[in-house]
A = this chain, B = another copy of it.
């Protein structure tokens, strides 16, 4: 154990898979820190400890690279949710676990979230990727809501209503998550619980037929 070779960090000639992952991680950090446009390939290469041509050789153009980041983080996010939801649990429990998974991801991967939400949502070429991701999440959430309504004795809800409610819920979650990402001292589980209550009680009332009516036109 003693007098071993002074282990310099294994600098050069790593296998492709390793380097690619290093680059992706560096890219996520830099995109989150600067935003897509302000991020420079130079800075990303620096952050990855590699030269720029390697980034291009392995991951392609800046757009390709960003898309790869979005896909990676998107997949991680989805997995964070899906991993904890189990079909054999009661509906409310499913929703609760999904929310915790979501907020847990945001709390633990601020950078990934910034890439997905603050960078990609608005930008033309990537908006589609994000929309697709959000669509998949909405689908999952709508399914959970539907089962939840049935379970709590409601009549079967029309699908458009469920989808719209899911959009609202996902939007609310995104917004809260965004706030969470800027407040590291906040507790993700607390946010999850608050939103769960909001959602669960409101949705239950609403979908069970109680309605608020505007008193005037």
Q: Name A's B-contacting residues (CB within 8 A).
A: 32-38, 90, 92-93, 96, 114, 118-124, 131, 161, 164-165, 167-176, 178-179, 182, 191, 193-203, 205-206, 210-212, 214-216
Contact = CB atoms under 8 A, between A and B. Distances in A.
Contact of A194 (B114, B165, B178): B165
B198 A202 contact: yes
Q: Give the 6 A-B residue pairs with the shortest CB-CB distance, closest first.
A: A171-B175, A202-B202, A37-B37, A201-B205, A168-B172, A172-B172
A157 to B, nearest CB: 11
A213 B59 CA distance: 46
A122 to B, nearest CB: 4
B200 A203 contact: no
Contact of A202 (B36, B38, B121, B203): B203
The A interface is mostly helix, strand or loop, or mixed, namely helix
Contacts of A196: 212, 214
| Stoichiometry (number of copies) | 4
A175 B170 contact: yes
A177 to B, nearest CB: 9
A161 to B, nearest CB: 7
A179 B164 contact: yes
A122 B174 CA distance: 13
A173 to B, nearest CB: 7
A175 B178 CA distance: 13
A125 to B, nearest CB: 11
19 contacts: A32-B122, A35-B122, A38-B124, A120-B178, A131-B182, A164-B194, A164-B195, A167-B172, A167-B175, A167-B176, A167-B179, A168-B173, A168-B175, A171-B178, A174-B175, A193-B212, A199-B202, A200-B212, A202-B205
A216 B104 CA distance: 17
A97 B169 CA distance: 21
B123 A33 contact: yes
Contacts of A193: 212, 214
A210 B201 contact: yes
A114 to B, nearest CB: 6
